[in-house]
Structure 1
Amino acid sequence: MDLFQFLAFLFVLLLSGTGATGTLRTSLDPSLEIYKKMFEVKRREQLLALKNLAQLNDVHQQYKILDVMLKGLFKVLEDSRTVLIAADVLPDGPFPQDEKLKDAFSHVVENTAFFGDVVLRFPRIVHHYFDRNSNWNLLIRWGISFCNQTGVFDQGPHSPILNLMAQELGISEKDSNFQNPFKTDRTEELPCIGTYYMPEIMPSADCQQLLLSQGLCVIISPLAIPDAVLAS
């Protein structure tokens, strides 16, 4: 899958909602439980996309994909927030009936969760962008608050994502035992030139020079560091 195909796939994930359809809903049921089942399907698609992203062996493409993806994600989140606020949709209220509102609701829930996946798996890259963007900070704070009130994350395998994301981003105070489940102690102790560290791959010398020329970083792989250094 080349860069443009991967970006197209990611934007389909960002823009496709999973709002419960009217054919499945009863007049007395807001269909939140139906939506939760659809949400599980979307989460599997999102996690597969991130797995593929982590396996890319072209660092330059990986960097560009994350750059474009984050901009698109927060644009969708901002637009959906505007729609929901204008319609006075409450996160803990009935599941929206209007198709536009259902899409906005699902976009907020799914993209907030997806951003949590991204920040936990690629923390240094995300911090490089997020920490200098006050608008993104405000949007994700709102998104986390909204999602926490929907009931979608109350139980199940995705329930920890909002809290872990908030702690990783510094939105909430870190617990004394906080640990990013996708980081290792060894990774965090390694030296890093620049702004982020990706343990999955080691770029070529030409790619490292390209990153340095753009003011980015050399990505250091544990496999490229002698055991004597790691043991020191």
Structure 2
Amino acid sequence: MSLNQHDPRRHDTSQHDSSQHHSAAQPDQGAPEERAQWWSQWVILLGLTLTWGALWQDFSPGVLVAGVGVSLLVLWFYRLPKVSFSDRINLWYVLVFTVRFLWHVVTASVSVARDAIVRGPGIVNAVVAVRLRSHDDLIVTLTGHALALVPGSLVIDVDRPTSTLFLHCLNMESMEEVELFRARALETEAAVIRAIGTKADLALVKDSEAAGSDATSSDPATSDPAGSEGPEGEAR
């Protein structure tokens, strides 16, 4: 028998040992991601803690500490769906969004009340599809709530794969009004993104606005004075 004869059992054993060594040398990449997802739930933890204080009508330190404990138990046992937060917040744009939202609520309330009294059943309604730029579940949810809380519009369906909101809207008599509402809905999404959105979503908003401004400046109807009307109302 030759001494150099290959032993397959020895080769398999060495290959198995090397694979074990390779797998043991690789770091557990899922653990940091899980920890990041856990710490990203601080907004939910804060909301549950404040809810606990509101239920007890007491926001003393002892009650809040107990609320943190109860909130941690809720997050641990009930395993709420993971909501990824961007860990980015712009307080100035949060204020801008709040003021803008309250202004739209007040003006829409007056407009809906006037139309209900003056026009009554003659109001023309429509279902408007608004395709959002962001695919983040939090941004889509907040945008939908912000639009639904304004009188005159109500979210009736959401197409999650395409981030499309379907809204039932009052007083939509022409395509111009539909496009105006769609533009306002996208402005609401942009306001949410500027306040708490990710940098990627913020870049989408800036690119979209830049493309819109370029299209407006290149439109002959808005940039060429030859297409405008003179003081006498005649085209020149």
Q: TM-score, normalised by structure 1?
A: 0.24
Structure of larger gyration radius? 2
Q: TM-score, normalised by structure 2?
A: 0.23
